[in-house]
Structure 1
Amino acid sequence: MSQHYSGGCEHHPVRVSAEPIDNHECHCNVCKKVTGQHTTHVAFFNHGDIKTDNEAAMKRVPFNADNPNGPLEICLCEKCNAVLMLDDKQKRIRVAVPNVMGYDDAKFPKASYHAFWDESKGYPKPDDGRPVYEGLQPSFVWPKGA
């Protein structure tokens, strides 16, 4: 497997074999709650493009505590509690958050747009020249699941 990016921890080294299929600066309330960050650089990959060793041993918790049966799970190292990836139960995508999941954020491409921004957030609309959307960019198409 050709490696484009790597992250994870010493127990679960995470390997990424492709470029992101979506790469955005997220403004959603779930990312804010989970990361404690005002905005979060999020990269979506096809499900098979992110792998680690001994995936069965990872702890899994709901990404969205308000929707525990939702499709995304946070994968944690069972030994050191490092955040490894977000995994989609439908096996469409896996998600890397470079500055949270052990990646070298400087090696990732810059987020190409702002996602999930709305006026109710209470701060000015981003004006860094990147497009700003109320959801994912309109051209994004979810990959088929397994």
Structure 2
Amino acid sequence: MSDYQGGCAHVHTRAAAEPIDNHVCHCNVCKAVTGQQTTHVAFFNWGDLKVDHPEKLARQPFNANNPDGPLELCTCTDCGAAILLDDKQKRIRVAVPNIMGYDDAHFPQASYHAFYDDTKGYPKPSDGRPVYEGLRPEFVWPKGA
């Protein structure tokens, strides 16, 4: 059984379940938030990714162009570290292993590329993983809690 642990010195996250989606994201929102060209992103069912001190989370819109959207970037009120993306509809919680305190090498490799757009001026990924303009076609959003 897997055990994914992340967070900072003040707020810890943990999931014993596998991610329900695990991809390399090419979207503009991830680029803006992380400063990375691409971002390894893991979606967990909302109840599978636990937070030990939710009272220490500062919440801000994940997408500045959609401030009323469902995802919130949660950061530690003590140190400012990015902890997770939380879904106000309680469908998913999102871990970005390399910036949210996880051992990125412990995560399974992303299985595909999401939100690739060939108008962005960089080559289409050629690492053998499928490349999609959105999430993988068979992905189904879980029901909210």
Q: Same fold (TM over 0.5)?
A: yes
State the match for 1:69 in structure 2.
68
Matched residue of 2:105: which SS? helix
Matched residue of 1:127: which SS? coil
Identity %: 71
* Distance in 2 separating the partners of 1:54 and 1:105: 22
Matched residue of 2:127: which SS? coil
State the match for 1:22 in structure 2.
21
* Distance in 1 separating the partners of 2:118 and 2:141: 26
Matched residue of 1:114: which SS? strand
Shifted more, 129-138 versus 46-55: the winner is 46-55
Verify the 8 A CA contact 2:2 2:18 in the aligned structure 1. no
Verify the 8 A CA contact 1:74 1:85 in the aligned structure 2. yes
For residues 141 and 79 of structure 1, do their structure 2 counterparts lie closer, same or farther at Cα, with a shift above 3 Å needed?
same
Give runs of ≥4 in structure 1 deviating > 6 Å.
none
Matched residue of 1:31: which SS? helix
* Distance in 2 separating the partners of 1:37 and 1:17: 27
Shift of residue 56, structure 1, vs aligned partner: 2.5
* Distance in 2 separating the partners of 1:138 and 1:65: 26
Shift of residue 51, structure 1, vs aligned partner: 1.0
* Distance in 2 separating the partners of 1:3 and 1:20: 10
Verify the 8 A CA contact 2:56 2:78 in the aligned structure 1. no
TM-score, length of structure 1 as denominator length: 0.97
* Distance in 1 separating the partners of 2:130 and 2:40: 14
What are structure 1's unaligned runs of at least 5 residues?
none
* Distance in 1 separating the partners of 2:117 and 2:52: 39
Shifted more, 9-18 versus 25-34: the winner is 9-18
- Asked if residue 141 in structure 1 is aligned to residue 125 in structure 2, the reply is no
TM-score, length of structure 2 as denominator length: 0.97
* Distance in 1 separating the partners of 2:14 and 2:57: 15
Q: What is the number of equivalent residue pairs in this alignment? A: 145
Shift of residue 83, structure 1, vs aligned partner: 0.5
- Matches of residues 2-21 of structure 1 in structure 2 within 5 Å? 4-21=3-20
Verify the 8 A CA contact 2:12 2:53 in the aligned structure 1. no
